[in-house]
Amino acid sequence: MFFKGCPLHCRWCHNPESIPSAFGKEWIKQNCIACGACAEHCPEGAVRLSDQGVEVDPERCLECGTCVEGCPADAMKPLGKERSVESLHKELVRDKAYFGAEGGVTFSGGEVLMQADEAARLAALLKGSGIGVAIDTAGFAPWDAVAKLVPHSDLFLYDMKLDDEERHRAFTGAPNALIKENLVRLSDLGMRLWIRTPVIPGATDDIDNITAIAAFLRDRDIKFERWELCAFNNLAKDKYARLGLDWPFRDAPLMKKAALDAFVAAAAASYGKPAKILWTGMTQREEHHE
Ligand code: SF4
Ligand code: SF4
């Protein structure tokens, strides 16, 4: 389940539609019948129809929703919905058999911690119904927000993107001291933790960054069950195009397996204690040499 709104702006974000708290909308080219109703009825004159399709000027758009409601072809779609905690609980409980004993619901985003009160209420209801809850978070929030989720969650999937504060700020728009501190506190409380590091070309994919994160985890005695190095993929390319957003990673290739193996080896060596450290995701098709 994805929560809207995120305080970070990671340049590689795979869910750009989740960054703004406002719902926003996307234009689906293959559905559009070029009727022009959206441009005609937009009170701000923010919509333009051209040979390229429908373009919305983000500077003029006030997110009034008129173009979404008036589109006869389901081509202008809202990116999100306001939902009550109770209605979500009711819907999710219907899938309880599907989740099984080991599964459950993952709260992701966006950033769950921006809606910590609602998320905690929903997590408590789900737990009360016998459904597990995992929190997928970047950890950039006051501790009070994190603490609200702790009693009602089984697992935190916690991002450690960049160890260096300045580089973290440059690539995500925020410092990382609070993120690190919250992780230490979660670990000290005995919360189950999966650490995740996105391995992004030109951003996080250097040995120094990986070994520095390993040293932090070791030195602060973070007790994690596993640490995943998540290989970059460019599957968000089409989504960025639909949203009319530029994406600097549009043409970045998948990583090579050998490079990911080397990051895992460096992480393990720097961490220096037995731990489950692995890479996940897709890689380039390997060339085979005789
Ligand atoms: S949401 Fe409202 S202001 Fe924005 S483009 Fe659509 S009609 Fe215009
Ligand atoms: S109202 Fe819908 S179908 Fe008509 S031009 Fe706009 S997006 Fe396309």
Give the residue carrying structure tokens 């005789």: 290
Q: What is the pLDDT of residues 242-287, one digit of tens each?
A: 887 889 999 999 999 999 999 999 999 999 999 999 999 999 976 5
- The whole model's pTM is what? 0.90
C-alpha to C-alpha distances, 280 to 163, 167, 248, 272, nearest whole angstrom: 20, 23, 22, 21
Average pLDDT over residues 86-111: 94
38/154 Cα distance (integer angstroms)? 45
Q: In the predicted model, is pLDDT for residue 288 greater than 80?
A: no
Q: For residues 4 and 226, is the Cβ–Cβ distance under 8 A?
A: no
Average pLDDT over residues 167-173: 98
* pLDDT value, residue 289: 52
* pLDDT value, residue 24: 86
Q: What is the pLDDT of residues 20-39, one digit of tens each?
A: 998 889 899 999 999 999 99
Q: Is the CB of 46 under 6 A from ligand 1?
A: yes
* pLDDT value, residue 58: 83
**Domains of the chain with CATH codes:** 24-78 (3.30.70.20), 83-280 (3.20.20.70)
Q: What are phi and psi of 40, to 5 degrees?
A: -65, -40
- Could you identify the atom of ligand 2 that is nearest to the CA of residue 35? 4
Average confidence score pLDDT of the chain? 94
Question: Which residue's CA is the nearest one to ligand 1's atom 2?
Answer: 64
* pLDDT value, residue 287: 53
Q: Is the CB of 265 under 6 A from ligand 2?
A: no
Say which residues have a Cβ less than 8 Å from residue 149's Cβ, sequence separation at least 6.
112, 113, 116, 119, 120, 123, 135
Question: Which residue's CA is the nearest one to ligand 1's atom 3?
Answer: 61
Three-state secondary structure of 183-227: HHHHHHCCCCEEEEEEECCCCCCCHHHHHHHHHHHHHCCCCCCEE
Looking at the CA of 77, which ligand is closest?
A: 2
Instruction: Quote the percentage of the chain above a pLDDT of 90.
Output: 86
Q: For residues 158 and 185, is the Cβ–Cβ distance under 8 A?
A: no
- Could you identify the atom of ligand 1 that is nearest to the CA of residue 66? 7
Looking at the CA of 42, which ligand is closest?
A: 1
